Structure 1
Amino acid sequence: MAQENKMGVMPTGPLLWSMSIPVMLSMLVSALYNIVDSMFIARISDDALTAVSLCFPVQLLMIALATGIGVGLNVLLSQALGAGDRTSADRIAGNGIFLSLVCWGLFAVIGWFGSTPFLALFTKKAAILSMGTDYLRVCTLFSCGVFLLFTAERLMQATGKTVYHMIIQCIGAVINVVLDPILIFGLLGAPALGVKGAAIATVIGQCTAMAIGFLLNYKLNHDVHFSVAALRPDKTIVRRMCRIGLPAAAVQALSTAMTAGMNAILMPLSSSAVGFFGVYYKLQNFLYMPLYGLTNTMVPIIGYNLGAKKYDRIRGVTRNAVLFALGIMWVGSLLFLLFPHALLALFGEEGLRFTGGVLAIRIIALSFLPSAITLTLCGVLQGLGRSGTALLAAALRQLVLLLPAAWLLGLVGFPVLWFAFPLAEIVTLPIAWLLSRRVFREIPGL
C-alpha cells in the first residue's frame, strides 16, 4: 500500500512551516535577481532602463497568466491526489502543461509582431523603440521559460515537494545573474549585446530552470505520471482550471493597477512622492514575499485535504497560517516603524528625496497586520477553489477602497493621504472574514 502524502498526515503547523520556507526563500531570490537585472541594465543608459521598464507590463501579464494556470493546476491536482484519484491527477497535470503551451504560443506570436506597435504607444524615441523591441521579442518568443517553469513549480507544490521548487528557482536566478554582465557588456569573449543580452540571459536562466524542473518531476515526483496522452485537452478540466485560475490571475494583476492608480493620484501632488512610492513598493515586496510564500503553500495543502475530506486539517491549517502570517508581519511592522530612515537610505537619494517618506512609511506600516489576515484568508479561499471570492477581497483592499480613499484624503494633503492604506485594510478585513465564513458553511462538514 502506497504511503499517504505528508499533506494528509503531518501535523498542520510543522507541515505548513516546512513547506513554506523553501517557497519563501525562492521568492526572495527571485525578487533579488530582478533588482540585480535592473542594476546592470541601468549601467547601459537611461534609455535602456526606460525601454525595459516599458516592457514590464507585458512581463507582468505573462506572470499573471502563468500564476492563474498554476493556481488552477495546484487546486485541482491536490484535490485529486487527496481523493486518491491518480488517473484524474495525471490528466489534470497534462492539461496544465497543455494550457501553458497554448499561452506560450500566443505570446510568442503577439510578441514577435506586436512588440514595436505596443512600445510605440508610449514613446517615439527610436533608440528606446529599438532596444525595447529587441528585449520584448526575446522574452515573449521564449516565454516557455515563464509558463512551463510555473507549471513545473506548481506540480511540485501540489505534491508537497517544495524543496525542489526552491532548487530550480535558485538555479535560474544564478544563471541569469552570471550571464547578465557577460552578455550585456561582452565579457569573456562574448559579444556586447546590451539590452538584448539581458533578455537572453533571462530566458536562458528561465528555460534551464524549466528543463531541470520537469526532469526533477519526472525522476522524483512519483505522485504524477507524465505521458503524451495526458496532454490531450479535456474540456471539463480546462474549464474548471480556468474558472479557478483566471480570478487568481486577476488577483496577481491587481497590484499593477493599484500602482498605476496611486502614481496618477500622487503625480499632481508631488513628483518626489511618486519616486518615494516606487521605493516603498520595492521594500514592501521584500516584506510580503514570505507572506506570499506562506499563502502559496496553503493552496495545495487545503486542496489535498478537501479532496480527502479531512476538514479538521483544513481548519488547523487556516489557524496556523493566520498565526504565522501575523508573526511575519509583526516583525515587518516593527522594522518599518522603528527604522524607516535606514530602509529608505538603502536606495540613496531616490529613497530620501521625498521629505515626508519617513512618516509615510510609519503610517502605511499600520496596515500590515490586518493585511496579513486578509491575504491568508484569500489563500484559504483559493485552496478551496473559490478564487472568485478571493478576487473580490483582493479588489476591495487594492482598488475599490484604497484608491478612492487615497484620492479623497489627498485633497487634504500629506501625510493624511497615507492613512488610506490602513483604512482600506481595516475595512476589508471583516468583509474577507465574512466571505470566508460563508464559503466554509457552504461546504458540508467544514
Structure 2
Amino acid sequence: MGTKAIVPLIMQMSLPPLFSMFLQYTYNFVDCLFVAQISEKALTAVSFSFPLTTLMLAFSIGTGVGINVLVARYLGRKEQDEANNIVSHGLLLSFLFGILLNVIFYLILEPYFHIFIKDEEIYALSMQYMKICVFLQIPNMVHIAIQKILQGTGNMLTPMAFQTAGVVFNFIFDPILIFGLGPFPAMGIKGAAVSTVLGYTVSMLIAFYVLLFTKQKVKIKTKGWKLNPAVWINIFRCGMPSFIMNALGAFMVTFTNSFLAAYSMTAVAFFGAYFKAQQLVVMTVNGLIQGCIPIMSFNFGAGNKERLKKTMIWGTVIAMLFMGTGELILSLFPKEILKVFMASEEMMSFGVPALRIMTTGYLFNGIATMVASYIQSVNQIRYSIVINLLRQLVMLYIFMWLFSRCWGMTGVWISFPAAEIVTCICCFFIMKKVERQEK
C-alpha cells in the first residue's frame, strides 16, 4: 500500500470488496425477487422491513470500518502489536454489540411497524419476516468485523470468498424454503428470512476459520492482552462516518415511505424495489471506498501526502465512472428492471419516469461519497459526518417536504438529484477547509 502504482493498487484493493459489498446487499435483493412472486403485499412488507435490515447492516459496517481504519493505520506505522490489539478488541466488541443490537431490534419491531403500516396483512407479513431476520445481527457483525480486519492488511480476496459462500447459500435456499421444494415445506416469507440468517451464519463460520487457522498479517492478541474501553471508543469514532452513511439510508427509506404512503402502497412497493436496484449501483462505489480507505489510512499514517492525494483523485474518477454506468443502465432500461419485481401497470406508470429522474444525481453521489471517505481517512471525522448528513438527511428532507407540495409524488423523485447536487457543491468548500487545516 506504500509503494505500488496507485491505479493498479486501487483496482487490486477495491474489486474484491466491491464484489463483497455487492454480495452483501444481494441478500435483501434476492429476497425481494422471490417474495415478489408471492404477492405485491409481500414485496411491500419486505420494503417496509428494509430500513431495519439496512440499519442493522450499518452498525456492522460502521464497526468494521472503524477496525479496518485502525488496523491499516497501525500497520502503516509498523506497530504490529497495536494492530493485533485492535483485532482482539474489535472481535469482542462485534460479538457483544451484536447481542445488544439483536435484543434492541427485536423489541422495537411491533411499535415500528404499527407506526408505518395500516394494512393488517402487510403488518402480519412484515412481522413474520423481521422476527426471524433480526437474528442475522450477531453473525453479520462478526463476519464483517473479520472481513474488515483482513482488508485492513491488504488481503481483499479472502473476505470475498466467505462473503460469496453465504450469498450462494441464500440464493439456493431462498426458493427452496419460500416455495417448498423437495423435503422442505413451503414457508412463504418466513423462508426468505430463515435463508438469510443461515447465509450470514455460514459466512461467519468460514470467516472465523480463516482468521484462526490460516496465516494472516494480523492475529488475535492473547498474551498480555487487557481490555481497554478507550480502544472501543476509538473504533466507534473512526467508523462513525461509515455508520452514518449507511444508517442514513435506513432513515431516508423510512421518511420517504412516509411521504409516499400518502399516495399509495404501490408507491411504497416501487420505492423499495428501486432502492434495492439503486443499492447494487451504489455498492460499486462503496466497494471502491472500502478499497481506498485502507490505502489512504496507511499513507496518512506513513505521512505520505502525495500518495494520499493521488488515491483520492483517482478514486473520485473511478467513482464517477461507476456511478455514470449505473445511471445509464437504470435510465435506459427502467421497464426491464421493474419487470424483475413483477411491477403492475400502476407501478410502471410512475416508476419509469421516477427511475429516470432519480438517476440524474448519481455522478454527484460518487464525488460526495469519495470526498467524505478521504476526509474520514485523514482523521477529520466531523466533516465527513457533515457531508453524509447533508446528502442523505438534511437537504433531502428539506427538498422532499418542499417539492412534494409543489409537484406531488414527482417532487419526491426530484428531491434526490437536488440533494446530491447541493451536497456536492458543499463538498468543494469543505475540502478547501480541510486542506488548509492539513497544511
TM range (shorter): 0.7 to 0.9
Question: For residue 201 of structure 1, what is the amino acid of its counterpart?
Answer: S
- 1:23 corresponding residue in structure 2: 17
Give me the whole-angstrom Cα distance separating, in 2, the residues matched to 1:132 and 1:274: 14
Q: In 1, are the aligned partners of 2:27 and 2:196 still within 8 Å (CA)? A: no
1:437 counterpart = 2:439? no
- 74-83 vs 190-199, which moves further: 190-199
1:422 corresponds to: 417
Q: Is 2:256 the counterpart of 1:262?
A: yes
Alignment correspondent of 1:311: 305
The Cα offsets for residues 94-127 of structure 1, whole Å up to 9 and x where unpaired, read as 1111110111221344466665566566669998
* C-alpha spacing 1:217/1:438, structure 2 compared with 1 (3 Å): farther
Instruction: Letter of the 1:74 partner, please give it.
Output: N
The Cα of 1:305 is off from its aligned counterpart by 1.1
CA contact (8 A) 2:109 2:127 kept: yes
Matches within 5 A, 1:1-400: 7-42=1-36, 55-110=49-104, 135-141=129-135, 143-228=137-222, 232-268=226-262, 273-350=267-344, 353-400=347-394
Structure 1 unaligned regions, length at least 5: 1-6
Cα distance between partner residues in 2 of 1:35 and 1:210:
20
Residue 39 of structure 1 deviates from its aligned partner by 3.7
1:245-278 per-position Cα deviation (integer Å, ceiling 9, x unaligned)? 2343222111122222233334445665444433
Q: Deviations over 1:217-265 (max 9, x none)?
A: 3344522121445874312211111222234322211112222223333
Q: SS at the partner of 2:407?
A: coil
TM-score of the superposed pair, with normalisation by structure 2: 0.88
Q: Classify 1:351/1:24 alpha carbon distance in 2 versus 1 (closer, same or farther; 3 Å).
A: farther
> Could you tell me how far 1:417 is from its partner in structure 2?
5.4
8 A contact 1:107–1:140 mirrored in 2: no
User: In the alignment, is the contact (CA less than 8 A) between 1:157 and 1:300 conserved in 2?
Assistant: yes
CA displacement, residues 327-381 of structure 1 (integer Å, 9 cap, x when unaligned): 1222233334444444444444347635344443333332122221111111212
- Counterpart AA for 2:425: P
Query: Which amino acid counterpart does residue 245 of structure 1 have in structure 2?
Result: G
Q: Once the two structures are aligned, what percentage of the paired residues are identical?
A: 32
1:87 and 1:359 map into 2 onto residues whose CA distance is: 55
Identify if the C-alpha distance between structure 1 residues 127 and 370 changes in structure 2 by more than 3 Å, giving closer, same or farther.
closer
Say whether the 8 Å CA contact 1:258–1:399 is kept in structure 2: yes
* C-alpha separation in 2, matches of 1:150 and 1:195: 26
Q: TM-score, normalised by structure 1?
A: 0.86
**1:199: how far off?**
3.1
Aligned AA (2:416): F
1:69 Cα deviation after fit: 0.5
C-alpha contact (below 8 Å) 2:135/2:197 kept by paired residues: no
Secondary structure of 1:412's match?
helix
How far, CA to CA, are the matches of 1:280 and 1:56 in structure 2?
A: 12
- Of stretches 376-385 and 231-240 in structure 1, the one that deviates more from structure 2 is 231-240
Checking the alignment, whether the CA contact within 8 Å between 1:330 and 1:369 is kept in structure 2 is: yes
Following TM superposition, by how much is the alpha carbon of 1:173 offset from its aligned partner in structure 2, in angstroms? 0.6
Aligned 8 A contact 1:98 1:231 in 2: no
Whichever residue aligns with residue 372 of structure 2, its letter is C
8 Å Cα contact 2:284-2:322 kept in structure 1: yes
**Range with bigger deviation, 220-229 or 385-394:** 220-229
